[in-house]
């Protein structure tokens, strides 16, 4: 049976982008009912919504009154997404005002609710809006952060509707969690995740890097958001976009990542170090591009060790049990030890609470859409996660984290 999704559309200029959200949901198998506000219909007419959804559009509480749509739509849905969610819509949702069909549906919902805000920067940053967002998130509503960029007219700043594809992905994350029987078990948790591969400068043109795409870290961030967490993503080089709703801190080198992670770690409940941090960097980066003729037939590049960020996190938290710290170990094994043996040794050496071990030999992980891991706990427990999508692996990690927090 297809997932039943209610797409609410509030009255903002970004209403036209909701057409892309609707198409993305229907093309991925969802049964979508569109509920626009009267203001939204001034931007996009009912005929457009009906043509794209293949269903009649519900517009007010008096339409098909015998079906009691203001109650049934919220009761029967598997997920409700409002895109765009204006400042006015979020204010009414926060305070339980039900003066049209969409706010009635939100008030009767017994399913996950996702709001994708879109408004001018001043409205998004106003204390009233910020407080409303805070209250909605405390109740388990997934409120995505808006994107930054061009708004109406010449204005720019945070307030753009998140990318429609990111909104569709967020809805499917929520639906996947609902199908698995998961609730918003990370609601109220503040999570710091590192992702991607660091790049260590050799000269102004060249760098030393690694094969990490950042996909696993992004899936960890996306699934944590769908389970109610507030997520900060410290992102090195990535081949994929960060998820809508995460606070993103961009870095390049291991030293920059160390600074960003240590600064943010004090204010979070969970730290997940999923980034592929380079172990070494050029000891003396060149100030200009090194020319072929300057090196002779052979080139020697002295390397220095980078800081061990995971070890510093563990040492820095002192006797307090928080934040809970999760490390990642990308291993290939060596002639005397297999991947799990190396992982157990690393867990003992680093002292983190959990260590996610994956075999990255033969190109089986970096840049791929799937993964398989073993999650090692400090108390000796081991959780085997069979090969599946990186989103499935991320949810398995959060399942273990949630049990550890309990």
User: Catalytic site residues?
Assistant: 210
Q: What is the CA radius of gyration of the chain?
A: 24
The secondary element (H helix, E strand) that includes residue 402 is helix 390-405
- Token readout for 332 is 């290939």
Helical H segments across 296-365, by residue range = 309-316, 339-350
Report how far Cα 243 is from the mean position of its chain's Cα atoms.
4
Q: Which two tokens stand for residue 321?
A: 């049990």
Q: Yes or no: say if 120 and 155 are a contact pair by the CB < 8 Å rule.
A: yes
Question: Phi and psi dihedrals of 238, rounded to 5?
Answer: -135, 150
DSSP-derived pairing of the beta strands 207-208 and 200-201: antiparallel
d(CA 180, CA 112) in angstroms, rounded, equals: 13
Q: How far is 161 from 23, CA to CA, in rounded Å?
A: 16
Please report, to the nearest 10 degrees, the dihedral formed by the alpha carbons of residues 124, 126, 127, 129 taken in order: -40
Question: Among candidates 217, 246, 216, 244, which has minimal Cα distance to 229?
Answer: 246
Token digits for 30? 């969802």
Q: Residue 180 burial (CB < 10 Å; 0-12/13-18/19+)? A: exposed
Where are the extended beta strands (E) located within 120-229?
A: 142-143, 147-150, 156-160, 190-195, 200-201, 207-208
Identify the DSSP state of 141: -
Backbone angles phi, psi at 250, to 5 degrees: -90, 135
Q: Are 223 and 394 in contact (CB under 8 A)?
A: yes
Strands 190-195 and 270-273: parallel
């Amino acid at each position: 049976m297809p997932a039943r999704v209610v797409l609410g559309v509030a009255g903002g200029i970004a209403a036209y982008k909701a057409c892309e959200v609707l198409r993305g949901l229907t093309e991925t198998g969802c049964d979508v009912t569109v509920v626009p506000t009267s203001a939204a219909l001034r931007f996009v007419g009912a005929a457009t919504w009906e043509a794209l959804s293949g269903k009649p559009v519900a517009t007010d509480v008096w339409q098909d009154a015998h079906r009691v749509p203001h109650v049934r739509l919220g009761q029967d849905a598997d997920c409700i997404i409002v895109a765009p969610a204006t400042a006015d819509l979020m204010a009414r949702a926060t305070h339980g005002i039900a003066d049209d069909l969409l706010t009635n549906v939100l008030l009767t919902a017994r399913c996950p609710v996702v709001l994708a805000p879109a408004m001018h920067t001043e409205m998004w940053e106003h204390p009233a809006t910020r407080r409303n967002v805070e209250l909605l998130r405390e109740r388990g509503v997934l409120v995505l952060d808006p994107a930054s960029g061009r708004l109406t007219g010449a204005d720019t700043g945070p307030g753009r509707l998140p990318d429609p594809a990111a909104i569709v992905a967020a809805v499917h994350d929520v639906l996947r969690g609902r199908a698995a029987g998961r609730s918003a078990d990370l609601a109220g948790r503040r999570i710091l995740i590192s992702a991607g591969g660091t790049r260590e400068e050799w000269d102004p043109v060249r760098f030393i890097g690694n094969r990490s795409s950042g996909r696993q870290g992004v899936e960890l961030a996306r699934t944590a958001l769908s389970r109610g967490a507030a997520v900060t993503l410290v992102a090195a080089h990535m081949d994929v976009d960060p998820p809508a709703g995460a606070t993103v801190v961009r870095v390049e080198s291991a030293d920059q990542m160390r600074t960003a992670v240590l600064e943010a770690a004090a204010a979070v409940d969970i730290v997940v170090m999923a980034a592929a941090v380079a172990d070494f960097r050029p000891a003396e980066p060149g100030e200009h591009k090194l020319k072929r003729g300057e090196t002779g037939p052979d080139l020697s590049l002295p390397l220095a060790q980078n800081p061990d960020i995971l070890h510093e996190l563990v040492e820095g938290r002192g006797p307090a049990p928080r934040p809970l710290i999760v490390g990642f170990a990308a291993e290939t094994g060596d002639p005397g030890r297999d991947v799990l043996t190396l992982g157990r040794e690393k867990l003992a050496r680093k002292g983190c609470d959990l260590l996610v071990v994956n075999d990255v030999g033969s190109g089986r992980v970096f840049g791929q859409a799937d993964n398989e891991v073993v999650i090692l706990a400090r108390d000796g427990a081991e959780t085997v996660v069979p090969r599946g999508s990186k989103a499935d692996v991320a949810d398995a990690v959060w399942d273990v984290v949630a049990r550890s927090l309990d």
